[in-house]
Structure 1
């Protein structure tokens, strides 16, 4: 798993980068294959905002979160991303490979 951390109007310190890798890195336990996650840290007015795009086999998942501090926003993002990945993985396991998923019940 590869995690890229970028800052938008925020300096990405080694401490922030390590924290992102620690928290977001737990998503990797759900996959045997390689995946890439791109995390952007930014300030929006008085709120710390974190945005992540996970390029996993078969799909790109996106999550974002905001908080009082950057660390709180990263925690929220990691939880959201983990839930998205688990949901995606369960959905893929329910359907046989090669069988299209249809919304009309057919």
Structure 2
């Protein structure tokens, strides 16, 4: 998984970078192929904001979260991106395979 962490008017410390990369590795469990994630961390007083742009199999998803601390915002962003990936994975599964007469050859 390729993770880019950027800051908008904020310096990204090693602790923030390590924490965000450790949390986002949780997203790898959904797909075997590599994912690309670009995170942008910023401060909207009084809240901290984390945005994520995720590229999966030719599609791009966006999620953002804000909280009182940057670590809480990163946690919320991870949860939102995780839900987006689960929803994307469910859409990829064909739930009607075999039940359609056109597919099983009985149509006609």
Structure 1 runs of 4+ off > 4 angstroms?
none
Structure 2 unmatched ranges of 5 or more = 97-108
Distance 1:27 1:49 in 2: 20
Once the two structures are TM-superposed, the CA of residue 50 in structure 1 deviates from its matched residue by: 0.2
Paired residue secondary structure (1:94) = coil
- How does the TM-score come out when normalised to structure 1? 0.86
User: TM-score, normalization: structure 2?
Assistant: 0.84
Over aligned residue pairs, what C-alpha RMSD do you find? 1.3
Gaps of 5+ in 1: 97-106
Query: Shift of the alpha carbon at 1:71?
Result: 0.2
- Kindly report which structure 2 residues correspond to 1:10-49, keeping only aligned pairs within 5 A, or say none: 10-49=10-49
